[in-house]
Structure 1
Amino acid sequence: MKKEWLTPQEIAQQTGYTRQTINKWINREHWTTAPRKGIQGGRGRKVLIDERVRQFLKTSARQVAEDGSHYRPSGRKDPLTNLLVTSVQQMTNDEREKLTALLLREGILGMLNRLGIN
Structure 2
Amino acid sequence: MEKKIYVSDKAKTQLCKIFSCSKMMVWLALNFKRESDLARKIRYTALTQFGGVPSWKSEEVETTHEEVEKTMTQRYGERIKLVYDRNDGSTHVLIDGKETRVEHNLDVPSFMALQNEVEIMAMSL
TM-score by length of 2: 0.22
Query: Given the two structures, how large is their TM-score scaled by the length of structure 1?
Result: 0.23
Higher strand share: 2
Which structure is larger by alpha-carbon Rg, 1 or 2?
1
Which has a greater percent of helix?
Answer: 1
